[in-house]
Structure 1
């Protein structure tokens, strides 16, 4: 009997957030002269068979996003779960490597660590947060089997992807240092910009 072939891995870059605290589109924030969306996109393209940008309908023609393959949210105002579910329902039989677009310290090595630790017989593979030890849903590998519970919870009004990972068969990896630190305010952006430019 032949071994079961693991589903292909596609990449999903979540870029549909409203960025209320930042007061501007996080995807357009530039580090080292390059918009964060393109930095993240290049990481996903390097490690997955195909990659897509998750967008809200009104973002489709945004110049930064228009030139990239897109998956438009099929759900309104439910946060990151909208992008994950929309991707899963567009390509049913693949695993999704999902990353948020506000992780400026994320690197290719961190994504390859996640992929290499993948357990395709479970529902997901994720890093733990270095702050609370809980799963990080926005740099995680979501297997096709994760769709059912995420959809059920959204249908019941629970939109938290992290809670879905907690309730799923999720392989958890140690936190990858500060690679998953995100930025939410103009002050955090300025600090991160200085940190990246000093390091480069």
Structure 2
């Protein structure tokens, strides 16, 4: 898989984590003929410079995509964000969790378009925020470093120290279906649900083709 690069934007895929509730490495989860990690990378192709963070394995490293390890292991996604920003050469970077099979390039572009003048751009649907499909500026590193050194690992607390621009549901709906684009899988039943979404979509597509052809 060849990944195109945008030199002004980064993409950080959080491929580490213990995946306790899923019971297996989310990056390597099979999903319609490819691993979950490679599916997300394919969907975000051309969005920015790719960085794979912790636990991605050699399958992507040999495709020319750098793999970095957490400097603060065991401290969750905040440590992965730190690791990715540490090696990124870009200002704004899209952070994507490795359990989002419908990660939307259109939504990613919207977040990047809102990134000037703030430290982070985060989707918000009502009271719920989505900090693991969000854009972070590289200048957040000192705050990350301090919090991780003190073992303060909550992403929501980290956001409270930043200038954050929030993108609400109405804005997201201008380019994507937020319920699908922000869908994440923590348990096997959610993995099965995501696969069923794809199968239903494929069946709808096949039916529409048959109807158009008069079959």
TM range (shorter): 0.7 to 0.9
Equivalent in the alignment of 1:174: 168
Structure-2 separation of matches of 1:192 and 1:93: 32
CA distance in 2 between counterparts of 1:181 and 1:92 reads 29
Deviations 1:136-178 (A, max 9, x none): 2211111122222222222222111222113310000014421
Matches within 5 A, 1:1-200: 8-48=8-48, 50-56=49-55, 60-61=57-58, 63=59, 66-67=62-63, 68-91=65-88, 94-118=91-115, 120-128=116-124, 130=125, 132-134=127-129, 136-175=130-169, 176=172, 177-178=178-179, 179-200=181-202
Compute the RMSD of aligned alpha carbons.
Answer: 2.1
Aligned residue pairs total 187
Structure 2 unaligned spans of 5+: 1-6, 173-177, 203-215
- TM-score, normalised to structure 1's length? 0.83
Change in 2 beyond 3 A, CA 1:14/1:106: same
Alpha carbons 1:60, 1:66 under 8 Å: kept: no
Can you list the C-alpha shifts for 1:1-36, whole angstroms capped at 9, x where unaligned?
xxxxxx921111110111111111111223322221
Find the aligned partners of 2:67 and 2:166 in 1 and give their Cα distance. 29
Query: What's the CA shift for 1:60?
Result: 4.1
Could you list the runs of 5+ residues in structure 1 that have no partner in the other structure? 1-6
SS of 1:122 mapped into structure 2: coil
